[in-house]
Amino acid sequence: MDARKIRLAYLNFFEKRGHKIIPRALLVPQNDPTTLFTGSGMQPLIPFLLGEEHPQGNRLTNSQTCLRSQDIEEIGDNRHTTFFEMLGNWSLGDYFKKDQIKWFFEFLTKEVGLDPNRIYITCFIGDSKHKIPKDEVSAGIWADLFKKANIDYAQAEIGSEEEGYQEGTKGARILYYSDKNWWSRSGKPDDMPLNEPGGPDTEVFYLFPQVEHNPKYGPNCHFNCDCGRYIELGNSVFMEYLKTSDGFIKLPKQNVDYGGGLERISAAAINSPDVFKISLLYPIIQKLELLSSKSYESETNSMRIIADHLRGAVFLAIDGVVPSNKEQGYVMRRLLRRAIRFSFNLGIEDKFISEISQLILSLYEPDYSEIKDSKQKVIEVLEKEENIFRQTLRKGLRELNKLENKGLSGADLFKLQDTFGFPYELSLEEAFSRDIKLKADYREEYLDLLEQQRKRSQTATKGTFKGGLGGQTLIHKKYHTATHLMYQALREVLGEHVVQHGSNITEERLRFDFSHPEKMTKDQIARVEKIVNDQIDKDLVITWEEHDTKEAMNKLHALGAFGDRYGQKVKVYRMQAKGSLKPFSLEICGGPHVEHTAILKENSKKFKILKEESSSSGIRRIKAALI
């Protein structure tokens, strides 16, 4: 089975088992300030895993596009990609370990056709300090499945990954690990705050016997070894505990959160440890071979980087991101510029991004309907960045050549970036590849100069994107509620052409992007502020109801965010004054919000727009706060 067929088979498999197929979330998280990108299938579902009711019910499934910018440096091996699809299924207080494990094993072996003899399992070893038992239930379910398939199911305890390198697999098919098989938003049990949910997980690995263990990672191979002999296909999290002042207790509603890599399962299906050989990536490699007249075998690293980075940049463009020097736009720019830089290694000196991007779009268009209307815009965005950077790259490389013999200082790296537009990361990569010496304090000097520049231009940011997941505190709820009020106020002041194009909430402020062709006047800003503050003073009551999506949009005329895709049912939030026949705000949203708007005045006096500026062509951006 190729990757497209596996994606479709997975969704059909779980749909037949009572799951509703929900649309993918955008790569840029909405109302989650703690992370730049959607990095897992469960990330958009955090409120529902923590107790919110999902409008589609308690059995859900989808294929979520994800991007993890922290993996950029790892691209080039056989299994890491910055952009990937995560197949997911969730049980919100419905089925639990037995059904989840049985179904996933059935899907892998019966639907995809993987060899069950090459499937290996990890489970949680337990935590005696916190009186959390060993997850013998999950291990026992796996053992029964292997027994029915006439496969040896010996079990052994490993503990940490370090112990795994020392002790190997111990001849077992089911290995117990410690922290590696525990999931919570905050990490291991010791690190979890009170009232935080978490639980054990069980991971599925597939053996590629053709891969020899590389002893540079450790003397012995084990399932979590980095050598690539065993590759993780999926991970079922069983959220069943709550940390309290009295220790860990069982949650009244226990959830299943499964995530599996489409690319890795697809590689296993063709018996290749190389994910770049699958049907969604290898056509890109073949096109690069054609353009460069070089083989994948001779230029493996460069071709993998280009294929991965352009795929990620294409999907960022589909979801509305444009290259810039900040936040998501910076990561997108870095992906594109690294791809262009490595094209020089292949001898591709002509523009090539449009041709590769069109190929990538054609691979995904049959399954993602939003691509049809965004293709031309995507190509324009990527071509523009290529035109800019090709000039920058030649200048930067010439300047780097001048510095090659004297070694690079932090000041040199800063000048390359600030004057010639040559990114810091690319300068380091060039230095390492050419064995150019770096002065001992290069990093400290570079960061100091960068900080001085930030202070001069007043672009320093504070406390944003610290990583992890969150956004459920009272202040987040207050700002989320204020966003709804401001959205409606903007439409009343500027007109009904105003449509939301993204939002971001921190503990200090809200940020809101919206369609409008020109800068707002001071009078318009003041009128929006007054409307919002008036609605706060009116103490609007906030309620929600579930509706069919078509009814919510076409009959109720509820507002929705631009670019968001909804399932068959949605939550519609109503903000309405007591005694009023008409709501002030009626909007499709997943939450969370406060119960009534007067709460927004607690510990603050008023709503204030701090800044109004351009975000991109035809899109304005507001930053506002409760002060």
Predicted pLDDT at 468 = 30
Alpha-carbon gap, residue 460 to 141, rounded angstroms: 52
Q: What is the arithmetic mean of pLDDT over 569-590? A: 89
How do residues 88-109 score in pLDDT, each as one tens digit? 999 999 999 999 999 999 999 9
Give residues with Cβ within 8 angstroms of 124, minimum separation 6: 132, 134, 135, 138, 176, 177, 178, 181, 182, 200, 201, 202
pLDDT for 481-520, tens place per residue?
A: 999 999 999 999 999 888 888 888 887 899 998 888 899 9
pTM of structure = 0.74
Query: Of 36, 40, 46, 28, whose CA–CA distance to 66 is shortest?
Result: 40
Question: Percent of the chain, pLDDT > 90?
Answer: 55
What's the CATH architecture for 474-626? 2-Layer Sandwich (3.30)
Listed residue (27, 67, 98, 100) closest to 257, CA to CA: 100
Give the model confidence (pLDDT) of 10-53 as tens digits: 999 999 999 999 999 898 887 666 678 888 878 888 788 877 88
Residue 125's nearest CA partner among 57, 172, 185, 77 is: 172
Residues of the chain with CATH 3.30.980.10: 474-626
pLDDT class of 563 with cuts at 50, 70, 90: low
For CATH 3.30.930.10, list the domain ranges present in the chain. 3-276
Mean pLDDT lowest among 382-386, 458-462, 586-590: 458-462
> Would you say 614 and 513 are in contact if contact means Cβ atoms under 8 Å apart?
no
Pick the CATH number of 3-276 from 1.20.140.10, 3.40.50.1980, 3.30.930.10, 3.50.50.60: 3.30.930.10
- For the cut 50, the answer to whether the pLDDT of residue 457 exceeds it is no
Residue 212 burial (CB count, 10 A):
10
Average pLDDT rounded to a whole number, residues 364-378: 90
- Alpha-carbon distance of 486 to 600, in angstroms, equals 13
116 upstream amide cis, omega within 30 of 0: no
Is the Cα dihedral 527, 528, 533, 535 positive or negative? positive
Our CA angle for 548, 543, 528, nearest 5°, is 100
Average per-residue pLDDT in the chain? Answer: 88
